């Protein structure tokens, strides 16, 4: 059966409709053929493009100051479209030392199975990057704010050096969001996002996105994303679009709550150190103040009592939930030494800057006094 489609001329929907269709019908075979060859032709097949997905891509490209975006089924989908779309066997990648775990694992795969060589440098050391570049260096990979210690990348310095040396810079801007940083304005070529986090913001979507400063690279990565099949789903894209409408409001509250908790934690006797770049004394404090209008909603702190104190704290929180991920309206806590980084030895943990008593908090948008009441009872309990 072919159900009739109502005529909606004369008015238009206020919100973006969900185009829940895998394909589109054509009147003209030439238009059909053209649609499959480029990302800006007519809509043809859902793996190539979809109007709801396109609305999300355009919205985020606009927020980031890019020419276009490619939405993917997850943040790792976006990371892989960028890396695999740009790198081939024998190529060289320069990456920042501390990276999101999934990205770090993927880079290991690239090195072990796909013949890509990798050099790690500090994200705020353009001279080290320059020294690492070789004739086959294709990509510089950075994160605006690193996990979990919040080191800030020197985007202007690093991206300018990459431009000068003909290396494509890719920046994961998941933690900062375009509310705190627009890497393309600092010279980045490609921005990647896990929209699972702040962009969608309500812990109900997995998604990702690449945003491009350059049209040729956008076409190249789009072609690869179509071949890889990393495509975003229209409903997930619609949820993300809905989340985006409140991104500025939520980010303001995430950052304000993080400041409130960071300040209180820093003064608490059970806490040895707080890692939030808005606090003087953080290694990235000065760079952060220069680059960012606010300092993000994720903070980490070291409990003076080490691993035992960390485990006790995790069991004692009530309002904050013990869970992975970040960027949602709920506050989530994690103890890296016994969860995300549990396989590492004490020395390896130290190399990542993670102590046995390090706790990560993805601060939500709850009332700050409710949050502090919960954390302080968990610290003393
Ligand atoms: C979560 C995350 C990713 C991966 O995103 P998924 O949506 O989980 O695939 C990549 N980078 C950063 C910084 C993240 O926090």
164 DSSP 8-state letter:
H
- For ligand 1, the distance from its centroid to the CA atom of residue 194, given in whole angstroms, is 5
Where exactly does CATH 3.90.1150.10 map onto the chain? 247-380
Question: What pLDDT, on a 0 to 100 scale, did the predictor assign at position 109?
Answer: 93
Q: How far apart are CA 180 and CA 64, in angstroms?
A: 10
Question: What pLDDT, on a 0 to 100 scale, did the predictor assign at position 224?
Answer: 95
Residue 198 Cβ contacting ligand 1 at under 6 Å: no
Question: What pLDDT, on a 0 to 100 scale, did the predictor assign at position 353?
Answer: 81
Residue 200 Cβ contacting ligand 1 at under 6 Å: no
Choose the CATH number for 29-244 among 1.10.238.10, 3.40.640.10, 3.40.50.300, 3.40.50.970: 3.40.640.10
111 DSSP 8-state letter:
H
- For ligand 1, the distance from its centroid to the CA atom of residue 119, given in whole angstroms, is 22
Burial 236-254 (b: 16+ CB within 10 A, else e): bbbbbbbbbeebeebbebb
Residue 362 Cβ contacting ligand 1 at under 6 Å: no
pTM: 0.96
232 DSSP 8-state letter:
P
Residue 222 Cβ contacting ligand 1 at under 6 Å: no
Question: What pLDDT, on a 0 to 100 scale, did the predictor assign at position 263?
Answer: 98
- Are 317 and 363 within 8 A, CB to CB? no
- For ligand 1, the distance from its centroid to the CA atom of residue 75, given in whole angstroms, is 5
Residue 172 Cβ contacting ligand 1 at under 6 Å: yes
- Are 318 and 193 within 8 A, CB to CB? no
The catalytic site residues sit at 47, 100, 172, 197
User: How many other CB atoms are there within 10 angstroms of residue 137's CB atom?
Assistant: 20
- For ligand 1, the distance from its centroid to the CA atom of residue 76, given in whole angstroms, is 6
Best substitution site from 73, 75, 204 to test ligand 1's pocket, by max atoms within 8 Å of Cβ? 75
Question: What pLDDT, on a 0 to 100 scale, did the predictor assign at position 33?
Answer: 92
pLDDT in tens, the chain (381 residues): 888 888 999 999 999 999 999 999 999 999 999 999 999 999 999 999 999 999 999 999 999 999 999 999 999 999 999 999 999 999 999 999 988 889 999 999 999 999 999 999 999 999 999 999 999 999 999 999 998 889 999 999 999 999 999 999 999 999 999 999 999 999 999 999 999 999 999 999 999 999 999 999 999 999 999 999 999 999 999 999 999 999 999 999 999 999 999 999 999 999 999 999 999 999 999 999 999 999 999 999 999 999 999 999 999 999 999 999 999 999 999 998 888 777 777 777 777 788 999 999 999 999 999 999 999 999 997
Residue 83 Cβ contacting ligand 1 at under 6 Å: no
- Of ligand 1's listed atoms, the one at least distance from the Cα of 147 is 13
Distance (Å) of CA 177 to CA 116, 134, 333: 29, 31, 20
- For ligand 1, the distance from its centroid to the CA atom of residue 369, given in whole angstroms, is 29
- For ligand 1, the distance from its centroid to the CA atom of residue 101, given in whole angstroms, is 9
Residue 177 Cβ contacting ligand 1 at under 6 Å: no
**Residue closest by Cα to atom 6 of ligand 1:** 75
Distance (Å) of CA 163 to CA 153, 168, 218, 240: 16, 7, 17, 32
CA contacts within 13 A on the Cβ side of 53: 27
Residue 73 Cβ contacting ligand 1 at under 6 Å: no
What CATH architecture is 247-380?
Alpha-Beta Complex (3.90)
Question: What pLDDT, on a 0 to 100 scale, did the predictor assign at position 310?
Answer: 93
Gyration radius of the chain over CA positions? 22
- Are 60 and 209 within 8 A, CB to CB? yes
Q: How far apart are CA 326 and CA 115, in angstroms?
A: 33
**φ and ψ of 152, to 5 deg:** -100, 135
- For ligand 1, the distance from its centroid to the CA atom of residue 36, given in whole angstroms, is 29
- Are 334 and 322 within 8 A, CB to CB? yes
Where exactly does CATH 3.40.640.10 map onto the chain? 29-244
**Residue closest by Cα to atom 8 of ligand 1:** 75
Best substitution site from 172, 197, 203, 300 to test ligand 1's pocket, by max atoms within 8 Å of Cβ? 197
Residue 174 Cβ contacting ligand 1 at under 6 Å: yes
- Of ligand 1's listed atoms, the one at least distance from the Cα of 327 is 15
- Of ligand 1's listed atoms, the one at least distance from the Cα of 195 is 7
**φ and ψ of 238, to 5 deg:** -65, -45
């Amino acid at each position: 059966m072919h159900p009739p489609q109502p005529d909606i001329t004369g008015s238009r929907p206020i919100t973006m409709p969900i185009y829940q269709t895998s394909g589109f019908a054509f009147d003209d075979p030439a238009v059909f053929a053209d649609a499959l060859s480029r990302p800006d032709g007519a809509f043809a097949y859902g793996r190539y493009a979809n109007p709801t997905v396109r609305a999300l891509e355009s919205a985020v490209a606009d927020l980031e100051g890019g020419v276009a975006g490619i939405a993917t089924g997850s943040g790792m989908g976006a990371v892989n479209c960028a890396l695999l779309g740009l790198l081939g066997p024998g190529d060289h990648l320069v990456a920042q030392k501390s990276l999101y775990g999934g990205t770090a694992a993927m880079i290991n795969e690239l090195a072990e199975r796909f013949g890509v060589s990798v050099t790690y440098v500090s994200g705020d050391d353009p001279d080290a990057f320059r020294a690492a570049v070789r004739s086959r260096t294709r990509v510089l990979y950075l994160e605006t704010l690193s996990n979990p210690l919040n080191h800030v990348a020197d985007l202007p310095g690093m991206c300018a050096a990459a431009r000068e040396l003909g290396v494509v810079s890719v920046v994961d801007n998941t933690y900062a969001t375009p509310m705190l940083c627009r890497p393309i304005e600092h010279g980045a070529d490609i921005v990647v996002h896990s929209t699972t986090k702040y962009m969608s913001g309500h812990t109900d979507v997995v998604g990702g996105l690449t945003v491009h400063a350059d049209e040729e690279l956008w076409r190249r990565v789009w072609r690869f994303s179509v071949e890889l099949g990393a495509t975003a789903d229209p409903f997930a894209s619609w949820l993300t679009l809905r989340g985006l409408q409140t991104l500025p409001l939520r980010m303001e509250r995430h950052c304000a709550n993080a400041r409130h908790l960071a300040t209180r934690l820093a003064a608490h006797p059970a806490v040895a150190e707080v890692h939030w770049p808005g606090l003087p004394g953080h290694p990235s404090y000065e760079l952060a103040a220069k680059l960012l209008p606010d300092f993000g909603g994720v903070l980490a702190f070291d409990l003076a009592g080490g691993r035992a104190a960390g485990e006790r704290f995790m069991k004692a929180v009530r309002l904050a939930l013990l869970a992975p991920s970040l960027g949602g309206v709920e506050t989530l806590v994690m103890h890296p030494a016994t969860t995300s980084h549990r396989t590492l030895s004490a020395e390896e943990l130290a190399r990542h800057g993670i102590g046995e008593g390090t706790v990560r908090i993805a601060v939500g948008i709850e009332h700050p006094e409710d949050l502090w009441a919960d954390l302080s009872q968990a610290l003393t309990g």
